[in-house]
Structure 1
Amino acid sequence: MTRQTYLIHTFTMAADFDEDRIRLNTVDPAGQYQALYLTRRLADRFIPLLAQRAEKAVAGPIPSELVLDIEQEKLRMERDSNPQAPVETVPDARPWLCKTIHMGDREEGGVQLTFTDDVLIDAYLILDEQSLRATLDVFLISYRALEWGEQAFPEWVTARGSALVVERGTLN
């Protein structure tokens, strides 16, 4: 069989409870749909590398954790105020299992991710710095939905939503 290559234009990440996996519903620039599964084991190994790329992109006199905290919160606020329609796969889009993720820098800037089944399919995703951090955020949302531990994520990604709820009337 011929190896298929596919450019991911946009995707929606979803928690698939039946499979206990993360599902990426994707669409290419021509409107072709695919769905791919990521196991927790693969995601746990991949997320720290993705976070390192995001951290590497932040350089300057201000501590990177502070910059990343602020940038991540800005990204979340923008997403909350401008939600995007999710990518829905067509019913006959047969999901495939991603076995390997390759990550490489692009000469034009950003990073290219290649999701592959190691046999027939390569799906490419190109991320700039902001999209890279947004991808980390949607991974976190999926992890929380699946009730998976968050050890793979740095604190600047997990910080939102971890503050204790203060009961009304307890503040002075």
Structure 2
Amino acid sequence: MMEEPAQSAAEAFEALKQEVALLRMAVQQLLNERQTPDYSQTLGKIMRDMKEAADGMTWLVNRPAIQVPADELASRICAAGKQARKLDRETVLEAARAMSQATGKIDGLVSRAKDANSQRQWLWRVGIGGVSGGTLAGMLLAIGLLHVAPEHSAAWILGLNGCRSANHRIAIK
């Protein structure tokens, strides 16, 4: 907007005034034409969410644990813990008793099995000793009879009776 420099200050001020008025009308017209956004849907969703939250809070406030004072709730929790520990202790003691009884039964079975095995070994030893002793006694008896009555022993070994053994002895001499 270049105008002649010969303008007076009053004329320049008047022109500036008209331009500012024109700008003001343009801005006012733009403001009038501007569409304001519709926030009704967003606000409705916010209201529904707030109602759901409030309903949840109502449910929570109506819970018995919330209505009980904190110190009473703590004492209830403590009592429940003591009861649970008591039941646990009883269960552990009962299991220990059962294990002790089972261990005693197993020890008895093992002891009886050891005793039976020991008895079996003793019977074998006694049996072998008896057979050995009997054999030795029989041999000693046979040797003793051979020295005491050699004729009868010889007859017996040869399978001869008493009369025949005497005849056989006479025949040998």
TM-score, structure 2 as length reference: 0.16
- State which structure, 1 or 2, has the greater radius of gyration over its C-alpha atoms: 2
Bigger relative CO (Cα 8 Å, ≥ 6 apart): 1
Higher helix share: 2
Q: Answer 1 or 2: which has greater strand percent.
A: 1
